[in-house]
Amino acid sequence: MDRIRVLVVDEHRIFAESLATALAAEADVEAVALGGVPAARALLERTRAGGGRPFGVLLLDAGLEGALESTAEGPALLAWVAEALPALRTVMLAASDDPVAAARALSADARGWVAKDSSLARLLRVVRGVLHGETHLPPALLTGVLRELQADRRHRGERERLVESLTPRELEVLRCMLAGLGRKAVAERLYLSPHTVRTHMQNVLGKLGVHSTLAAVALARRAGIPPAE
């Protein structure tokens, strides 16, 4: 019998370890717990390179830094998994019902949104279900999530038009921002001076009508712009 490998990533390491232990009590489940995004990505990189049997399900803390939003250290783990490990099913573990965050997670290829205080039986149903192509969402969130997804679809065209106003070089800079690169790293990657990169970044923010790098990255991601390789 093939065992389901589950990776639990939560900023509260004790919670992650307790959940992994409970899941692993099942005969068909093997679970590993980690407390942060860098460690999770490093482990997933190793398994992708052949360093062990791959994980089937990622249970990811929705409130963990770097889970849904890119940081200076790199792209959001959810987005990275969707691109680098498409066979890995991600389920968000949430401390509260948040239709906006849940809609964003589903748009980024999460397969479920589950409360952290759900019963073990509920979590096991979700883990096994997503491996069979199911998507799990609490009924109380369904209306709000559908509303958010519909609004996002309406605004996608506007976001795409804003992105199309960028020059090719500005788009390159934006893709580097999506990859979590800072000004110096972008300058080195594109063989530009930091001053030139700063100008491009300011132009990007102005054309997109936002006031911060995080806002520009969020807009670009929702417009479907891929990060730099």
Would you state the pLDDT for residue 145?
67
Strand order in the sheet with 4-9: 29-34, 4-9, 57-61, 89-94, 112-115
pLDDT in tens, 38-48: 999 999 999 99
Distance CA(133)–CA(14), nearest Å, equals 30
Residue range 176-199: mean pLDDT, rounded: 92
Entry pTM: 0.68
Calculate the average pLDDT of the chain: 87
Would you state the pLDDT for residue 154?
60
Would you state the pLDDT for residue 70?
75
Residue range 164-169: mean pLDDT, rounded: 89
pLDDT in tens, 17-36: 999 999 999 999 999 999 99
The SS3 of residue 207 is helix
Q: Look at residue 201 and tell me whether its pLDDT is greater than 70.
A: yes
Share of the chain above pLDDT 70, in %: 92
State the pLDDT confidence band at 102, using cuts at 50, 70 and 90: confident
pLDDT in tens, 146-158: 776 666 666 566 6
Distance CA(150)–CA(10), nearest Å, equals 30
Q: Is the CB of residue 103 less than 8 Å from the CB of residue 51?
A: no
Q: Look at residue 74 and tell me whether its pLDDT is greater than 80.
A: no
Q: Which residue has the tokens 């748009």?
A: 107
CATH architecture of 4-144: 3-Layer(aba) Sandwich (3.40)
Residue range(s) occupied by CATH 1.10.10.10 in the chain: 165-222
Q: Look at residue 95 and tell me whether its pLDDT is greater than 80.
A: yes
State the pLDDT confidence band at 8, using cuts at 50, 70 and 90: very high
CATH architecture of 165-222: Orthogonal Bundle (1.10)
HSE-CB at 113 with a 13 A cutoff on CA atoms is: 27
Q: Look at residue 199 and tell me whether its pLDDT is greater than 60.
A: yes
Residue range(s) occupied by CATH 3.40.50.2300 in the chain: 4-144
Would you state the pLDDT for residue 16?
95
